[in-house]
Amino acid sequence: MSRMAIRPDVEALPAYRFQALDAAVKLDQNESPWDLPEPLRSRALERVARAELHRYPAMHADGVAERIAELEDWPVEGVVVTNGSNVLIQAIVIAAGLGRRVLSVAPSFSLYALQARLLSAELREVPLGAGFTLPLEALLAELAQGEGVHFLAAPMAPTGNAVSAEDVWTLARAGTPRWLTVIDEAYGPFAGSDFSNVVRDVPGAVSLRTCSKAFAMGGVRLGYALTDPGLAVHLRKAVLPFTVSALQAALVETVLEDPAYVRSRVERIVAERERVALALRTLPGIDVHPSVTNFLLVRVAGAAALHAGLLARGIVVRRQDHLPGLHGCLRISIGTPAENDALVAALTAELGARSAATERTEESHA
């Protein structure tokens, strides 16, 4: 196929970066360290087995939307369901960003910028402040001009820090009516935050949520938006019909009927996050950034070498040192207690070996 058939904006765009690496301990994608609990998993698979595979699924995953509406105490007409929140990000840019602006901070979830560039929206990225703080005044200045979509990850990713409720309210109100404010709450359960009240009260606001993290269904691929029913009508126009399969719907409907496991899982992950952070802060040469998510962002000298050293010991984490403002940073997902212990032991050994090598070099030069 001739390259001339591809739009120049697409041709110039780098692909989404992720390299799957084989390791015994997988701490690189912010997944739940545990699968669905039994017997919930068995009930879900039994419903999958009864799915009518020769029939098309509901056009907009209506059964899933009903379960979500009950769970979130939200009008079902204002629930938009897709096969992953990534699909919703693209649909939102199509619906409100084409020919306009897409506003975010840098660094943030890379898909915001990727979709803006892919769809030829004008991308505006405001650098984070010191300590990865939200650049409130600069964002307000951007919202005072133009129109489009403002993506606000709360909690923030990949840095893991919280966004204050006051700042969320301020930015959402400042955006209306010319901006669609998208509050990405993918990691909200781990922070104990919920900005659905902002969406209820501010026209043009959307809460973006996922079943991949706290619900432990990353492999199922399902995300959803909570918004005003009138706005939801327009967002669905940008979502291709029948994107959620009958198999996905059967799994998710079953799980959403019995979500009690989520709270205990979140509590265990949060406790492990604090335990791991405390352990890592005792190690020399590692700076652990405060987190309210299910991952930790750490800064070290020689991040690439440390990443390789951990991989050689059977542990894979995520390099973030290619992102603006994240020089020397690695992102570490919180795993099971045993996996976290293995991580701490491997980091201790790697940093200890590095320190010993430095001492030997200094002695040889003495």
CATH number at residue 326: 3.90.1150.10
pLDDT over 60 (residue 125): yes
Question: Phi-psi bin for 99: left (phi > 0), alpha (psi -120 to 50), beta?
Answer: left
Q: Which domain holds residue 134?
A: 40-256
Q: Which of 14-28, 204-218, 288-302 has the lowest mean pLDDT?
A: 14-28
pLDDT tens profile 33-62: 999 999 999 999 999 999 999 999 999 999
Task: Return contacts of 63-67, CB within 8 angstroms, 24+ apart.
Answer: 63/249, 63/253, 64/222, 64/224, 64/244, 64/248, 64/249, 64/252, 64/253, 64/256, 65/224, 67/252, 67/253, 67/256, 67/257
Q: For residues 11 and 3, what is the distance between their CA atoms, to the nearest angstrom?
A: 8
Domain assignment present for 248: yes
Residues 128 and 69 reside in one and the same domain: yes
pLDDT score of 154: 98
pTM score, two decimals?
0.94
Q: For residues 213 and 190, what is the distance between their CA atoms, to the nearest angstrom?
A: 9
Angle, helices 110-118 vs 85-96, to 10°: value is: 40
pLDDT over 90 (residue 358): no
Percent of the chain with pLDDT over 70: 96
Residues 353 and 277 reside in one and the same domain: yes
| Domain boundary residue, one of 256, 279, 296 | 256
Residues 84 and 180 reside in one and the same domain: yes
Phi, psi dihedral angles at 128 (to 5 degrees) = -65, 155
Residue 33, preceding bond cis, omega within 30 degrees?
no
What value does the mean pLDDT take over residues 256-265? 95
Residues 66 and 204 reside in one and the same domain: yes
Average pLDDT of the residues of the chain:
94
Residues 144 and 127 reside in one and the same domain: yes
Question: Phi-psi bin for 314: left (phi > 0), alpha (psi -120 to 50), beta?
Answer: left
Instruction: Please state the domain count of the chain.
Output: 2
Residues 139 and 152 reside in one and the same domain: yes
- Report how far apart, in Å, the C-alpha atoms of 115 and of each of 18, 59, 226 are: 16, 24, 21
pLDDT over 90 (residue 362): no
Cβ 114 vs Cβ 251: under 8 Å: no
pLDDT tens profile 203-253: 999 999 999 999 999 999 999 999 999 999 999 999 999 999 999 999 999
pLDDT score of 334: 98
pLDDT score of 168: 98
Quick one: tokens of 256?
């959403």
pLDDT tens profile 131-183: 999 999 999 999 999 999 999 999 999 999 999 999 999 999 999 999 999 99
pLDDT score of 1: 44
pLDDT tens profile 57-112: 999 999 999 999 999 999 999 999 999 999 999 999 999 999 999 999 999 999 99
pLDDT band at 357 (very low <50, low <70, confident <90, very high): low
- Quickly list DSSP for 184-235: E-TTHHHHT---HHHHHHSTTEEEEEESSSTT--TTT--EEEEE-HHHHHHH
pLDDT score of 329: 98
Domain assignment present for 35: no
pLDDT over 70 (residue 3): no
pLDDT score of 313: 96
What value does the mean pLDDT take over residues 275-284? 96
Residues 47 and 195 reside in one and the same domain: yes
pLDDT score of 356: 64
